[in-house]
């Protein structure tokens, strides 16, 4: 829409969204990447870098290497209006980091040019459970992440092609839904002609029979031995043992080709004798060992959260395992506290919790009503009339109000529960917000009583973020990488 035809509110909404995307994805996620955490924890300068090796392929051309230091934004802008780009690489190769670096540069463009589309980042994993049209999913996701915008505002952005979509995690969509997701993306691109970037692991994308109809592809290649050595030599921490082991351990050498794994090695093995590591030539076994060692080392470090409650390593791993398993079950990459209702698998279990919530809410309202009316009001009236009213009459009055408060409060809570149940049966999708608000506290109490979460869950999540196991972004939490999320999810509770 031409600038002169936009209202002040539309321009304000645009700037608000730009600010929110930058705050969430750039300051909240990119700036707290594991590589950045290594720099911060070891006191290194930003120049310590593990540069990506890139190859570029246009739709009508073969692969060709990209000169070292080339920014993805320069490749993307050469594609023209309605540009589409696919970023491929192995897990941990730096696809998300590259996507967010591109997002940062696109945000700069959008803030300098009001006609430039608004870059927005989504993770495709949450699409899997819905299998809906991509435009409907985008509206719901944007609203879920940023509650400031009405559905009509978001639909208007989508319809008028004012969004530039940066979609991470095609490989995180469940395998049985991945082909449908690609078809939905192609359909959306054909109907809306929006600029779009999608990330996926090379292995998972290559198995698809249905491919994205995109203009160009960038391949992120593994780190070379020279790059790995240059990075390790730049770090001033004691990595003598790690370097010695890496010289003879082929599985470790293979893992080090991933920037994610290389950074984990630095944090897990600095200043540590690593001869104890079991001998193996199987890369997957060495990866699991690295994850376990990283977790133990992060939980062993002195905490910076002075004066706050600490948790034992066993507790922390147990609660993070439960969180990871629920997130994987519900195709979540980003966890919002208010999304805990999604953990109720199956309509039957959800209804049982709703009924339990009705009982608990009824009892709470009964107690509250009794305290308010039975004690406050009758106590006041009793105090005023005690001299002129027989004690028996006063006691009977108090008992009457007590029973009335209990019955009315309980019936009120039970009515709320029935409303939630009816909404779930008639219109499940439209009942989510009501149900979420109704059962949140009772459900969290039940999770606590079953030992699945600590009493103060937010404090625990902040603790895990301080240990560099989670990231805290606004009112949400993410595991530092999808691979660590999956590692926790595979643990036994």
Distance between alpha carbon 135 and the CA centroid of its chain, in Å? Answer: 21
Query: For residue 192, what pLDDT band results from cuts at 50, 70 and 90?
Result: confident
Q: How many angstroms separate the CA atoms of 172 and 456, rounded?
A: 30
Q: Show which of 203, 221, 239 is a domain's final residue.
A: 221
279 and 350 together in one domain = no
Residue 327 in any domain: the answer is: no
271 and 371 together in one domain = no
CA atoms within 13 A on the CB side of 395: 3
Number of domains in the chain: 3
Residue 432 in any domain: the answer is: yes
467 and 439 together in one domain = yes
Distance between alpha carbon 215 and the CA centroid of its chain, in Å? Answer: 29
**What sign does the dihedral 239-243-244-246 (CA atoms) show?**
positive
289 and 248 together in one domain = yes
Query: For residue 48, what pLDDT band results from cuts at 50, 70 and 90?
Result: very low
Residue 488 in any domain: the answer is: no
282 and 413 together in one domain = no
37 and 179 together in one domain = yes
Q: Show which of 301, 318, 351 is a domain's final residue.
A: 301
Q: Locate 115 and state its tokens.
A: 């006609």
pLDDT recorded at residue 399 = 64
Q: How many angstroms separate the CA atoms of 402 and 373, rounded?
A: 8
Q: How many angstroms separate the CA atoms of 232 and 385, rounded?
A: 84
Burial class (CB in 10 A: 0-12, 13-18, 19+), 217: buried
pLDDT recorded at residue 400 = 64
Mean pLDDT lowest for which of 66-70, 86-90, 118-122, 335-339? 66-70
**Averaged pLDDT for residues 31-56:** 59
pLDDT recorded at residue 205 = 92
pLDDT recorded at residue 432 = 44
Q: How many angstroms separate the CA atoms of 190 and 289, rounded?
A: 45
Q: What share of the chain is helix, strand, coil (3-state, %, to 5)?
A: 60, 10, 30
- The 8-class DSSP code of residue 87 comes to E
Residue 320 in any domain: the answer is: no
- The 8-class DSSP code of residue 200 comes to E
pLDDT recorded at residue 128 = 63
pLDDT recorded at residue 353 = 57
Answer whether 333's CB lies under 8 Å from 482's CB: yes
Answer whether 414's CB lies under 8 Å from 328's CB: no
Q: Show which of 301, 326, 347 is a domain's final residue.
A: 301
**Averaged pLDDT for residues 97-101:** 91
pLDDT, tens digit (0-9, with 9 covering 90-100), for 473-492? 888 999 999 999 999 999 98
229 and 204 together in one domain = no
Query: For residue 463, what pLDDT band results from cuts at 50, 70 and 90?
Result: very high
pLDDT recorded at residue 210 = 87
Instruction: Of 167-176, 302-311, 346-355, 417-426, give the range with the top mean pLDDT.
Output: 167-176
426: containing domain: 337-479
Answer whether 11's CB lies under 8 Å from 5's CB: no
pLDDT, tens digit (0-9, with 9 covering 90-100), for 155-164? 999 888 899 9
pLDDT recorded at residue 77 = 82
Residue 191 in any domain: the answer is: yes
Q: Return mean pLDDT, the chain.
A: 79
**Averaged pLDDT for residues 73-91:** 84
Answer whether 165's CB lies under 8 Å from 196's CB: yes
282 and 384 together in one domain = no
408 and 435 together in one domain = yes
> Domain holding 56: CATH number?
3.40.50.300
Q: How many angstroms separate the CA atoms of 117 and 150, rounded?
A: 19
Query: For residue 47, what pLDDT band results from cuts at 50, 70 and 90?
Result: very low
Burial class (CB in 10 A: 0-12, 13-18, 19+), 436: middle
260 pLDDT above the threshold of 80 = yes
Residue 332 in any domain: the answer is: no
410 and 281 together in one domain = no
**Averaged pLDDT for residues 265-292:** 85
Query: For residue 143, what pLDDT band results from cuts at 50, 70 and 90?
Result: confident
Mean pLDDT lowest for which of 212-221, 249-258, 266-275, 427-436? 427-436
249 and 174 together in one domain = no
Beta-carbon neighbour count of residue 400 at 10 Å?
Answer: 12
Return all residues near 285 (Cβ < 8 A) that are at least 6 apart. Answer: 251, 278
Residue 204 in any domain: the answer is: yes
- Name the residue among 88, 64, 283, 99 with its Cα closest to residue 203: 88
Instruction: Of 30-39, 198-207, 365-374, 441-450, give the range with the top mean pLDDT.
Output: 198-207
**What sign does the dihedral 334-338-343-346 (CA atoms) show?**
negative
Beta-carbon neighbour count of residue 451 at 10 Å?
Answer: 12
CB crowding 290-314: b at 16 or more within 10 Å, else e: bbebbbebbbeeeeeeeeeeebeee
**What sign does the dihedral 140-141-142-144 (CA atoms) show?**
positive
- Percent of the chain with pLDDT strictly greater than 70: 69
Residue 315 in any domain: the answer is: no
35 and 170 together in one domain = yes
pLDDT, tens digit (0-9, with 9 covering 90-100), for 177-187? 899 999 999 99
Cα distances (Å, whole numbers) of residue 435 to 326, 353, 409, 430? 19, 10, 19, 9
408 pLDDT above the threshold of 90 = no
Pairing of strands 476-479, 470-473: antiparallel
Q: How many angstroms separate the CA atoms of 388 and 228, rounded?
A: 91
- The 8-class DSSP code of residue 161 comes to T
Secondary structure of residue 129 in the 3-state scheme: coil
């Amino acid at each position: 829409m031409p600038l002169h035809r936009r209202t002040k509110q539309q321009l304000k909404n645009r700037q608000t969204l730009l600010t929110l995307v930058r705050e969430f994805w750039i300051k909240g996620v990119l700036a707290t990447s594991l590589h950045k955490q290594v720099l911060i924890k070891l006191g290194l300068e930003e120049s310590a870098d593990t540069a990506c090796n890139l190859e570029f392929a246009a739709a009508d051309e073969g692969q060709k290497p990209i000169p070292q230091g080339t920014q993805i934004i320069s490749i993307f802008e050469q594609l023209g209006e309605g540009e589409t780009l696919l970023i491929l690489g192995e897990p941990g190769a730096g696809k998300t980091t590259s996507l967010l670096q591109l997002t940062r540069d696109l945000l700069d463009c959008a803030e300098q040019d009001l006609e430039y589309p608004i870059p927005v980042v989504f993770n495709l994993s949450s699409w899997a459970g819905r299998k809906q049209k991509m435009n409907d999913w985008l509206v719901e996701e944007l609203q879920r992440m940023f509650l400031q915008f009405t559905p009509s505002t978001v639909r208007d952005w989508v319809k008028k092609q004012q969004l530039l979509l940066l979609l991470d995690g095609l490989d995180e969509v469940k395998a049985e839904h991945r082909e449908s997701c690609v078809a939905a993306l192609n359909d959306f691109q054909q109907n809306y002609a929006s600029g779009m970037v999608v990330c996926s692991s090379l292995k998972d994308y290559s198995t698809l029979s249905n491919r994205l109809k995109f203009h160009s592809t960038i391949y992120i290649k593994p780190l070379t031995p020279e790059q790995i050595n240059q990075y390790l030599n730049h770090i001033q921490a004691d990595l003598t043992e790690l370097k010695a082991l890496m010289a003879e351990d082929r599985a470790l050498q293979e893992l080090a080709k991933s920037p994610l794994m290389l950074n984990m090695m630095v944090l897990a093995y600095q200043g540590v004798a690593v001869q104890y590591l079991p001998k193996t030539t199987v890369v997957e076994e060495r990866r699991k060992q690295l994850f376990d060692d990283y977790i133990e080392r992060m939980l062993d470090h002195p905490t910076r959260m002075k004066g706050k409650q600490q948790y034992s390593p066993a507790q922390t791993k147990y609660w993070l395992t439960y969180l990871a398993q629920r997130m994987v079950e519900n195709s979540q990459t980003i966890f919002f506290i208010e999304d805990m209702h999604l953990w109720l698998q199956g309509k039957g279990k959800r209804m049982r919790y709703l009924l339990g919530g009705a009982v608990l809410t009824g009892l709470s309202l009964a107690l509250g009503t009794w305290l308010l009316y039975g004690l406050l009001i009758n106590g006041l009236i009793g105090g005023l009339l005690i001299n002129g009213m027989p004690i028996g009459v006063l006691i009977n009055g108090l008992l009457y109000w007590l029973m009335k408060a209990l019955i009315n409060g309980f019936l009120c809570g039970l009515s709320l529960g029935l409303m939630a149940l009816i909404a779930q049966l008639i219109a499940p999708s439209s009942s989510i917000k009501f149900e979420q608000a109704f059962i949140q506290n009772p459900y969290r109490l039940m999770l606590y009583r079953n030992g699945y979460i600590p009493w103060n869950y937010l404090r625990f999540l902040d603790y895990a973020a301080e240990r560099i196991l989670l990231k805290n972004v606004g009112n949400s939490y993410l595991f530092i990488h999808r691979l660590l999320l999956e590692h926790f999810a595979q643990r036994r509770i």
